[in-house]
Amino acid sequence: MSSNDILNAMTISANGMRAQGARIRVISENIANAGTTGLTAGSDPYARQTISFKNELDRELGIRLVEVDKIGVDRKSDFKLKYNPDHPAANEGGYVKMPNVNTMIEMMDVKEAQRSYEANLGMIEQTRAMISRTIDLLR
């Protein structure tokens, strides 16, 4: 394994950690706003955010890195209606639009992102250990 390979492995893992960190931030924001409704009658509540990734070629290093492609809004999921006629965002029927955030799904997604983050961290630790062993052998 050349020094270039070691640098590439650490770069790929670091980018993976950065991408999963962004994913965790988006999920955390979704969970934090799971109860955020509109402020006026019939207004829309918080809309769940989504994140997508892409492979980006680093021409200088000649490797593909994962990058955040875009952070968007989930337009596929409908807002749930909850009967609460006293709420300021209630429509004329007394129903309030609730965010399209399913906390259980968000928790599963954050667990998956955490495992991916930890796998990338493990690769960096392994690479660092190989470098350390190589230096020990050269002494």
- The 3-class SS string of 45-111 reads CCCCEEEEEEEEEECCCCEEEEEEEEEEECCCCCCEEEECCCCCCCCCCCEEEECCCCHHHHHHHHH
Band of residue 98 on the pLDDT scale cut at 50, 70, 90:
very high
Mean pLDDT confidence for 71-76: 95
Helix axes 3-32, 103-138, angle to 10 degrees: 160
- Residue recorded with tokens 């994913």: 23
Looking at residue 6, what is its pLDDT? Answer: 85
Structure tokens that stand for 65 in this block: 């890195």
**Torsions phi, psi for 10 (to 5 deg):** -70, -35
CA angle 58, 132, 12 (to 5 degrees): 20
Pair type for strands 63-73 and 80-83: unpaired
Q: Minimal CA–CA distance to 89: which of 80, 77, 97?
A: 97
Band of residue 5 on the pLDDT scale cut at 50, 70, 90:
confident
pTM of the model: 0.87
Q: What is the mean pLDDT of the chain?
A: 94
Out of 11-20, 45-54, 125-134, pick the least confident: 125-134
Counting the structural domains of the chain, the total is 1
Residue 61 pLDDT > 70: yes
- Determine the structural domain holding residue 130 and report its residue range: 3-138
Residue 122 pLDDT > 80: yes
Residue 1 pLDDT > 70: no
Looking at residue 139, what is its pLDDT? Answer: 84
